[in-house]
Structure 1
Amino acid sequence: MISKKALFSVLLIGLIGVAAGAGTFAYFSDTEQADGMFQAGTIDIAINDQNPWMESFEMIDMKPCKTTEEANVELTNVGTNPALIYKHIDVTDYNTGLERFECPVTNEMFSSEPEWTIEANPQFDEEGNVTNVDINRIDDIHNQTEYTLTIDGQQIPLCLFDIETVGDVDCNWMFLGVLEPGDSMMVNQTYKLSADAGNEYQGDQFNFTMTFKALQTNDETTLEDHVVVDLTEPEVPLKLYDTDKETELEVGDIVDVDEFWDRMWLHNVGFEPIKVNVYANGWSSTWDNLEPCKPVGWALGDDQGVWELILVEEIISNGNGEWQVTLTPVDDNGQPV
């Protein structure tokens, strides 16, 4: 009979053997290793081969109807990604500018005597001496400065976006397009003092900053409010507007005419001049070169007087940039008269 002490010894030796045997098992394995790098792409533009852009523009001695100044820049995408290109003008200040004439009453300075005469409203005694002034400064010359924009040789009809002056474009971001890496975009701008600018604007000046911004193409939040400059030529560049100049007319619409001098307005909303023929009740008119953003009016009447109701019968293209509008006088039931 095996004693308990001997049995314990046998079990202990067996456990040790099992443990020793466990250490001899093998498993297949394989290890691979590679180096890695994380690098961000870039959004970067150069302007007129400068990065950063260091230019400034001075437009001096501007006169109505005579002088046009240009601010032309070439944008190049020097980054590694396509970029959305935006443009911004910010009028930072406007003032009387030149100070060449001193008000004899208040000693305030004006650009010239003609400017002072309009803005100070001077009153004179019988001997021609100034007795009183009522000064009302008119310095918003940016609202009298006409502005045009051309992208890669294509002038943009800014009037379609209610932009005609620097004052209109002030503080508006304008989307110019997408620029691929390595590509360039030519942006031409003109500044011209309006023919409506009177002596009150003599010597006046405004200061502004011009900014171009590039964003990555999936950025829809940084500049949510902006004007999109669409370079796509409209399928129908001719639009008709009612006598109020605001209500757009389509084929089948009837115009209610109040007075003989009321006019239907023709707008070229395309990029190129077009020829327009208007036919109505045996009468016709032709505009050989209706330019974009320069609407013309057509009197709604004949030698017998005013046509009270006018039907827009058709607006069609005759090809080669020529358009035809046919109008028909109608009665209250829409029947030709």
Structure 2
Amino acid sequence: MKLKKKLGMGVATAVLGLGLIGGGTFAYFSDTAQATGEFTAGELSLSAEPSVVIDVNNLKPGDTMIRSFELLNDGTLDISKVDISTSYVVDDVGGNNSEDFGKHIRVNFLENVDKTGFDPIFWDYDHNDVISYTTLYDLKNMTPDAVENLNKWWTIFKGEASGLEAGTSDEMLVSFEFVENGADQNEYQKDSLNLTWTFTGHQTEGEAK
């Protein structure tokens, strides 16, 4: 091997060795820090009390029934609205109904007393009827908001704003009527209607925290 070639290989080997030594002994300052976070979701909890709003028997056309119940926000999050969904099952004992029994049971009003501060029993006009003058049959196609203040201007004087804040409740007053239609309604004798109102609470809009 020629001398120049041998010298070149020797220099390359020495440089590589120095590089390895330098890489193994190079030192520098360092430090670390940590940041943690925790996300805990709130609870949306809605209940009705009592859970059985009405339970009557021995009804006849023309009978009117007024009942009260409460919607309670048992959770930690405010509720923006509460949709009411209506369903029912009719027990046609005689099997002779010419039309749906639900067409003969009318809701004269469902009033949210807390939104207006007035009891409709003692007033001759409606302040905040969530439901007003409609049959259970027609109500199946509606989803009214039980905690909306329909007369928002009235909150200046009395009553609450729409929605249901955490830890609060709204008093509801409802009037049912077995409608007397002036015709033969014998086909509904001994029949029963089992009503289910499903209340669905919805959260308020997201916000910066």
2:90–2:191 CA contact under 8 A, matched in 1? no
**Structure 1 segment 21-40 matched on structure 2, within 5 A:** 21-40=22-41
Q: TM-score, normalised by structure 1?
A: 0.43
1:85–1:212 CA contact under 8 A, matched in 2? yes
Q: CA RMSD in A?
A: 3.2
**Structure 1 segment 53-202 matched on structure 2, within 5 A:** 53=51, 55=52, 57-65=54-62, 67-83=63-79, 84-96=81-93, 137-138=97-98, 140-147=100-107, 148-152=109-113, 153=119, 154-156=127-129, 158=131, 163-176=133-146, 177=148, 178-196=163-181, 198-200=184-186, 201-202=188-189
Query: Any gaps of 5 or more consecutive residues in structure 1?
Result: 97-108, 111-135, 219-337
Alpha-carbon distance in 1 for matches of 2:70, 2:105? 23
1:90–1:171 CA contact under 8 A, matched in 2? no
Choose between structure 1 and 2: higher strand proportion.
1
Alpha-carbon distance in 2 for matches of 1:170, 1:71? 20
Q: What is the match of residue 156 of structure 2? A: none
Choose between structure 1 and 2: higher helix proportion.
2
Query: Any gaps of 5 or more consecutive residues in structure 2?
Result: 114-118, 120-126, 149-162
Deviation track 1:40-97 (CA, whole Å, cap 9, x = no partner) reads: 333221222x7xx5x36312122333x322342211112232222111221222524x
Shift of 1:31: 1.5
Q: TM-score, normalised by structure 2?
A: 0.65
SS in 1 for 2:134: coil
2:83–2:145 CA contact under 8 A, matched in 1? yes
Deviation track 1:205-242 (CA, whole Å, cap 9, x = no partner) reads: 32221211112345xxxxxxxxxxxxxxxxxxxxxxxx
Query: What is the percentage of aligned positions where both structures have the same residue?
Result: 27
SS in 2 for 1:47: strand
Shift of 1:182: 1.6
Alpha-carbon distance in 1 for matches of 2:16, 2:138? 94
Number of corresponding residues: 172
Q: What is the match of residue 207 of structure 1? A: 194
1:71–1:189 CA contact under 8 A, matched in 2? yes
The amino acid of 1:143's aligned partner reads K
